[in-house]
Amino acid sequence: MFSDILTPLPGIGIPFDIVESKGPMIDSPIRSLEQIENLNPLNPEESLPFIKKILNTLRSEVGNKSTVLGFVGSPWTLAAYAIEGKSSKNYAVIKRMAFSEPEILHKFLGKIADAIAVYVRYQIDCGAQVVQLFDSWAGELSPQDYETFALPYQQRVVKQVKQTHPDTPLILYISGSAGVLERMGQSGVDIVSVDWTVDMAEARARLGQSMKVQGNIDPGVLFGTPEFIKARIHDTVKKAGNQGHIMNLGHGVLVGTPEENVRVFFETAKQIRY
């Protein structure tokens, strides 16, 4: 998953490797203005030709039976990987840059945002019908810093995409988003994906009824009994209301989740009728 949202980085000049048990590793993390100025504009036709093949194949196979979902990383999260050089527990390196050399970070975030916008438009042109933006690490920011280093660059991506593809829905997901939920709604996306740390009824109230939502069952619920899973689904749907809600987990399926319970989740959700 993380390697997928980092896909644009090599195309702009930031290669990475996937190391077993460690995840993505970047040998030359971004730490200077000179490195940022030497980055390339993203040309997905040259650097990401496999994306077109994958999405074209999916659209051909799926037809009108389902929706093809594209997904990308958002500026703060991609910048965090590129600057930290690997996964992080405290994000000390990027926060040091944010609070001591903000002009360098803003320059980098701008370049990342422009590359992501190009990548989103490319995915849509290749067959994606909805695109989800993952700003997984933005939940580590205070609300004040989210408004400075995450939100403006989410808006920059959304604005550029909407200029050319106004009818393609965009979704924003942040892990641990309880503290910035209302601010997520200011990003310009069409749908806010809510994680399970927020009660769905409270999320709807905080975002306003005009904002569509996705989520937000705790993935751990799928370790429960079928009866428990079904009850939690109905509770979440009731709290979300009868419109503008995409039923989903509040994050991905956990390793070791019984396949039968995943089936119960999907079948129960599909059978709900208002």
The DSSP annotation for 29-69 comes to ---SHHHHHTPPPP-HHHH-HHHHHHHHHHHHHHTTSSPPE
pLDDT above 70: residue 127: yes
Q: Please give the radius of gyration of the chain, using alpha carbons only, rounded to the nearest integer.
A: 19
What are the pLDDT digits (tens) for 9-61?
Answer: 999 999 888 777 777 889 899 999 999 999 999 999 999 889 999 999 999 99
User: Span 76-80, mean pLDDT?
Assistant: 96
- DSSP, res 70: E
The pLDDT, as a whole number, for residue 2 is 43
Q: In this structure, which topology does domain 2-193 adopt according to CATH?
A: TIM Barrel (3.20.20)
DSSP class of residue 137 equals G
* Residues 236-245: tens digit of each pLDDT: 999 999 899 9
Q: What values do phi and psi take at 71, rounded to 5?
A: -150, 150
For residue 113, give the nearest of 86, 141, 83, 152 by alpha carbon: 152
Q: Which H or E run includes 83?
A: helix 75-84
Q: Where is average pLDDT lowest: 60-69, 92-101, 153-162, 174-183?
A: 60-69
Residue 246 CA to residue 114 CA, distance in Å, equals: 28
Lowest-confidence pick of 83-92, 142-151, 248-257: 83-92
Comparing CA positions, the residue from 62, 37, 52, 38 lying closest to residue 7 is: 52
Mean pLDDT of 216-242: 96
The pLDDT value given to residue 242: 86
pLDDT at 1 over 70: no
- SS3 assignment, position 108: helix
Q: What is the DSSP string of 142-181?
A: -HHHHHHHTHHHHHHHHHHHHHH-TTS-EEEE-TT-GGGH
Of 34 and 63, the one with more pLDDT? 34
**Domain ranges for the chain:** 2-193, 209-274
Distance CA 24, CA 170 (A): 26
Look at residue 4 in the predicted model and tell me its pLDDT.
65
Give the mean pLDDT of the chain. Answer: 93
Span 124-136, average pLDDT? 95
Rounded to whole angstroms, the Cα distance separating 135 from 141 reads 11
120 closest CA partner among 83, 81, 60, 169: 169
